[in-house]
Structures are given as structure tokens and as C-alpha cells.
A and B are shown apart, each in its own frame.
Chain A
């Protein structure tokens, strides 16, 4: 009851004209920033900090503005993933896998509105989780030591098989390539630079935003350049948008998926060492293992759109738990929000909930408001977004190229990053020719460092004893899930494969 009273007070703080306007502005800007390749939630929030300070906003209004941007960007990232096959930010990467095929099948409208609903569901449950469980959830974060984190990352990679490609070997190759790229930079466990060739820009490793924009957006541009003479044909083809609202049957089919992945994503968000990207990744691959009996994931299955979107939005809410209750940022964006809190003379940490209840509850109320606003804003705007598909490639592709360059330069202010981006673009172009999936590369780059560091931390702490990796019940459980996730598909593989062949025949018949 006390919680509800606190929440009521929070709404009293949050519902003023100024705060509502700020939330609306934040949601709108966040959605745009999330949709633009290169500008992710953390940069979006960072860009708006000076605005909050210039307007002389107090602690609660500033947080309302910035968290609306945060939630908005989590919504917005899916738009370019679905329409263009180019993830707007890293948590939206998994949405490419089924979202873009759906758009290609003429179901762009359904994909967008369904993912909007899934985002809402994920964020809605995560906000409730934050309200009811934040102090207790901190204990979950404390169960995870380096060994458990390593097991969690291993689980993520072991369930990777088949994500985004029918050829497991190519998926594994792509993941290995990503893990290899992750080793570039100063090794924190020894302080020694690896594969940096004396180039100071590489000391901090490759920026995965640069990698994403290069691999997905630029390679798309290169493919277009290569085929531009034949492209007229594609332009002439009539684009089918599909319905602007998801049919009830589709929503119904996706509901269990959304609920499961909201929970998974939320837990991944609560762990400071995991974050939203791992949340959407695990949500997708676990859901695929669980419900994808016919092998339709990766070919435009609505559940494959709902899973990562509910997962990453739930993770975004979950990531606020360690930030508020421990003062430990679980993701890049929460690190920025943490800095804002400090700049406003509020110290997050175990005592925040008792010392600054107005800030905490005002923020939580703002999250609810922002979430409803985003749903209300995103569903009617589906029609507007889908117009992007009407733009002929010869106009769209130069815009994509321009936005990529400006976005990356605008964030890093470094021409070196532009060269790296072009390098990734060429690599992406080549890999697409060989039909190697690009998503596992990013996952390897994104998670490889944390995985390696946790492995080495665990082993160093236990003086070189490798058994430490299976030393706790939690670690054992995670390993068990990982092994089942890896082995089970091999056993039932024959059935799945048969299913896939049948499906291919169906598809062939339709496209003819």
C-alpha cells in the first residue's frame, strides 16, 4: 500500500503541464534519435543534457525529459530495423532478423505496430518490476560474480546457433569474427594494448555503433551502388505496406512470447554487466528455441519481432534498477543518466529511495506517462513511417549514407571512426556476398570483451583454478541451460530441418 501511495505522490509530481510537455518532447526526439542509424539512446540523452541545464530544469523535470528520450529511443530503434534492415541502435539489432523480412513480405505496417505494442508491454512490465521489486532485485545482481557472468555470456553464444541463418557454420564463423574483433584495444587485465598497431584511437577497442552502421547501413549502400543499373526494376515494383494495425489473431499469438521475453529482458537489464542488448538477444534466441517448431523465425515470424522488442524495452526499464539502487550503470545510457543525477547533486545508491523519494517516484511516474505517450504516438505514426518504403532507393540510399557519416562524426568527432566505418562497410558488403549473417558479428563484438574479462577475472580470483566456473548453483544452472540449448536442437534437428524444407517449398510457390 505504501508503494501505491508513493506512486500516487510521484504522479502528483510528474503531472504538471511543464512535465507533460517535456515528456512529449522527449518521446518525440527519442523516437527520431532511435530511428536514425548511429544515434542511439546514450548519445540521444547526452545531446539533450545541455538543453536540460540551459532551461534551468530541476532534478525531476530534467530526469523526465531524459528518461523519455531513453524510452523513446528504445521504441524508435525498431523503425529502421524493420523498414530498411538497418538497426537504429544496438538493442534493435535482433529486430532486423524477422522485422525486415516481414516488411519485405508486404507486412511492414503490421511489423511496426506489433513491435510498438511489444515495446509497450515490455516497458510496462519493467516499470512495474521497478516499482515493486527494485530493492529486492538488487540481491539478484549480487548473485552474479565473474563466473556467473561468464556462464551467462556463454549461454548467449551457445543458443546462438541458427539465429539469422540456416547455415550454422556461417553463423559460428560470424560470431568468431566478432569475438576476434572484440580483442582489439587495451586489455584491462594486463594493461597491454592488443592489435592496436600504435594507433591511439584503437586503445579503447572498436566502437560497436561504428561497426553496426558500417556493417548494416554502408554495406546496403554499397550493394545498391553495385546493382544500380538493375535497380530500376525493384523501384518499379509496387511496395505493399500491409495493415496499419496488427490483427487480433497476431497479437494473441504473440502474447505469451511478449510476457516471457518481458521477464527475461527485465532480468538481463537488472544485471549491471549484461544490459539491453543481451536482453533482446537472449529473448530472441530463447524464444526461438522454445516456440519455433517450424523454423519460421528469421523469415518474418511476428513472434520474432515481438520477442526482441519486448525484451529490449523491458531491459531498458530493468537497467534503471541497478542505476538507482546501486549507483551502478547497467548500460551506456544509464551511465549518462547517472552522470546527470550526480550533476544535480543527487547521489544514487542504496539510500536514494529513502533520501530522495520525490526524485525516484517522480521518475517512475514519468516512465509510465512516457510509455503511454509512446504507444499513443507510435501506432498512428506507423502510416507515416512506412512511407519511407515508398522512397525510391536512388534517393533513400544517398540519405542513408549521409546520415551514417554525419551521425558517426557527430558523436565521436573523429575522422578515424569514419574510416573504421567504411572498413566495416566493405566487410559487410563482402560478407553479404558470401551469405554470412551480420548479426552474430555485432554480438561477438558487443559481448566478447565482457565475456573475456569475466572469464579472466573469475580464474584470476581463484588463483588459476578453472573449476571456479562451475562452483555455484547459479553458474551450474546457467551452464545446464546453455548445454540443453546447444544440444537439444542437434537431437531434434532432423525434424526441424524437414520443417524448414517444407516451408521453403511453400515460399517458392508463393513468390512464383
Chain B
């Protein structure tokens, strides 16, 4: 108790001094629960910029980076301190759902906030170097099945994180009994993982299509499977899905927003409709195309139940592979 009183006092002092942290209530604000430069930061900044460009908001959306605990710090902050802020949305993704499902935000659950809308999905890919002997997903999974030690799979998330789960989902769907034998190497972000694939340190890469796109264009890597229900549109249409290769695995890293649980219905509906309008615009379609985001058009109640579903599904996979009990 004493500790939190000290914290409160410090906060008051720091707030009164800090011009940086001052926000007026009517100013739209987006919390990116990570340091600048990551996917959540991108979601906030890109959506903020596009909303302003299209006149859906009058002022510049203020982006606050509240890093820590893989988004847990921001989640706790919103639940505990910003519960009735009407001007606030928070960037979220499958990683948020994964951590909520695995109980990695101590004491927090998905019901404590209101889920606003999605702005697209980044489907998972499994890729190998361009000069690899492996050409299809079943070939790779056969190698893993017969000699798990011979294939290192690199990804940008920690063990148990979304990049790891994607490859486990595929392995599970292919009938690999003990998916815990799959050798996963965690790197600091998808970019570093792809670089190590190019360097030949690892044999396969699991990540999002947007992380892989630049290297596919340059001919350095080949995508052997997209974890999408059907082939994607545009220039991504050439990538085979896992499904058409007989592996029933789907892994979409959706991007979207949640808002404080105590947000008024008026404000919530306004946010839902603004982001819905943005999603429907041509400009956003271009942004999605340029960044390899596939359509995922869910708002309000629909989005809420979508997130609930994905949390439940991740929970059951995580139990199966022994990440949670």
C-alpha cells in the first residue's frame, strides 16, 4: 500500500512537470504497447495517419508507446488507470490474444476491455532459403518428423509466442506426435530471423507474410506455405496454402484495437464506426496491399466474439503442447 502511495505521489509530480505526458481529454490517443518500431506501433501510427488524412478525426492521433511485459503493462494500465477514457484505443494483435490465453498478463482477462475492430490480418508463412532442397511444406514436416534435430525453425517471437505456435499448429495438423520436439529458435523480431535464414544458420522461418515479402521479391527466400484458408489476392496469389498441400493449418496474425472496459457506449460506437469507415476506404486497401495485410473485416460485437474464439483456441493448443497446464 505504501508503495502505491509513493508511486501515486511520484506520478503526480512527474505529470505536473511533464509536458510530454499531458493529454487533453478530447484528443484521440492510441497506446502502442511496445517500443517504437514494432507491429503495434505501426498499427497505431498507420491508422492514426489514415484517420486524419481522411478527415475522420480532426486532430493528430497521439501515439503513446507504453512498452513492457509483451503488452501486459499497457493492458494493466488501461484496466487499472484509464478504465473510463473515451479518447483511447490500444493496438492489439494475435500476440495479445496469445498472452491473454496463456495467462501471461497476470490477473488480467480479455473481458476487462472492449474489443473495437480489426484492421486486417497478416497470415502466417513458413519459408525456406531460395537454394534449399525443400520445396513443399510436407517435405519440411517429413524432415522434422524423421529427424527433429536436423531442422531449426527461426521465428521472431519468444518460445510459446505466436510465431512458435504457428509452426506447431502445422506440425500438429501433419500428425507429428510430440510437437515439443520441433526445434524452434527465438530471435528478436522477424527481420533478424529472416536474416539468419539467409545466413544459413537455420533451415526454416516462421513469421508473417509482411516480414517475408521483401525477401521473396528479391528472390532470397521461397515461401512454402501460407497458413490461410485460401490463396491470397494480388501478388501473394502464387504462394500455396498449407491446406492445399494437405496440412489443415491456419494461422492469422490479426491486427486491431481494444478500448477501455468502462468506455461509454457513445464513444465505443463512434470508434467502431470510424475504424469501420477507414477499413472500407480505398486508401486503407492500398495500405493493406502494400504491407501484405489480408482482409479481416470485423467490428464491434463480431470482433469481440472473434477474439474470444481465438483466445479459447490458443488456450487449447497451448495445453496440448504443454506451454500451460
Instruction: State the A residues within 8 Å of B (CB).
Output: 42-43, 45-47, 49-50, 53-54, 141-146, 186-191, 198, 200-204, 272-273, 322, 326-329, 332, 335-336, 338-339, 342-343, 345, 347-352, 402, 405-406, 409-416, 418-419, 450, 453, 457, 460-461, 463
By CB atoms of chain B within 10 A, which of A189, A202, A350 has the most?
Answer: A350
**Contact A142 to B199, CB < 8 A, known contacts A191-B160, A406-B14:** yes
Instruction: Decide if B35 touches A351 in the complex (CB within 8 Å).
Output: no
Interface status of B174 (Cβ within 8 A of chain A): no
- Which residues on A sit within 8 Å (CB–CB) of B323? 191
> Would you call A45 and B36 a contact (CB within 8 A)?
yes
* A143 closest partner in B (C-beta): B199
**Chain B residues positioned under 8 Å from A350 (CB to CB):** 214-215, 217-218, 220
Please indicate the chain B residues that have their CB under 8 angstroms from the CB of A414 in the complex: 66, 68, 73, 77
Question: Which of B70, B106, B191 is close to A198, meaning CB atoms less than 8 Å apart?
Answer: B106
What is the CB-to-nearest-CB distance from B283 to chain A, in angstroms, rounded to a whole number?
Answer: 10
Residue A343 contacts which of B6, B49, B201 (CB distance < 8 angstroms)?
B49
Q: Which residues of A contact B69 (CB under 8 A)?
A: 200-204
B185 interface residue (CB < 8 Å to A):
yes
Q: Min CB distance, A92 to chain B, in Å?
A: 20
Interface 9-residue window, one of B17-25, B116-124, B240-248, B305-313: B17-25
Is there contact, CB below 8 Å, between A204 and B149?
A: no
Note all chain B residues with C-beta closer than 8 A to A416. 7
Closest residue of chain A to B16, judged by CB? A406
For the complex formed, measure the closest distance between the CB of A150 and the CB atoms of chain B, giving whole angstroms. Answer: 12
- Proximity string of chain B (49-83) to chain A, C-beta cutoff 8 Å, 1 when within and 0 when not: 10010000000101111111110110011000000
CA distance A141 to B196 in the complex (A): 9
* Bound-state Cα–Cα, A45 to B77, Å: 25
Complex CA distance for A145 and B287, rounded to whole angstroms:
34
Task: Check A351 against B198 for contact (C-beta < 8 Å).
Answer: no
Per-position binary interface string of chain B over residues 210-231, scored 1 when its CB falls under 8 Å from any chain A CB and 0 otherwise = 0001110110100000000000
Number of interface residues of B (CB under 8 A): 74
A142–B42 CB distance below 8 A: no
B10 within 8 A of A: yes
Known: A200-B69, A342-B291. A186 touches B10 (CB 8 A): no
B132 at the interface (CB under 8 A from A): no
Q: Is the CB of A49 within 8 A of B63?
A: yes
The listed residue with most B CB atoms (<10 A of its CB), out of A200, A202, A338, A416, is A200
Within the complex, the shortest CB–CB distance from A335 to chain B, in Å, comes to 3
For residue B239, CB closer than 8 A to chain A, the reply is: no
What residues of A have a CB within 8 angstroms of the CB of B104 in the complex?
A: 203
Contacting pair B76 A144 (CB below 8 A): no
Q: Which residues does chain A contribute within 8 Å of B214, judged by CB atoms?
A: 327, 347-352
Which listed residue, A202, A339, A415, A461, touches B45 by the CB 8 Å rule? A339
The residue in chain A whose Cβ has the minimal distance to the Cβ of B156 is A188
Q: Which residues of B contact A142 (CB under 8 A)?
A: 195, 198-200
Q: How far is the CA of A203 from the CA of B35 in the complex (A)?
A: 14
- Which B residues are in CB contact (< 8 Å) with A45? 36
Asked whether A189 and B186 contact (CB < 8 A) given A142-B199, A410-B20, A413-B66, the answer is: yes
Q: Which of B21, B37, B198 contacts A410 (CB 8 A)?
A: B21
Within 8 Å CB of A410, what residues of B?
14, 18, 20-21
Please tell me if the beta carbons of B17 and A201 are within 8 angstroms of each other in the complex.
no
Q: Which residues of A contact B195 (CB under 8 A)?
A: 141-142, 272, 322, 326, 328
Whether the pair B183, A460 counts as a contact (CB closer than 8 A) is yes
Q: Is B281 an interface residue, CB under 8 A from the partner?
A: no
> Closest approach, in angstroms, between the C-beta of B62 and any C-beta of chain A?
7
Does A463 contact B149, Cβ atoms closer than 8 Å?
yes
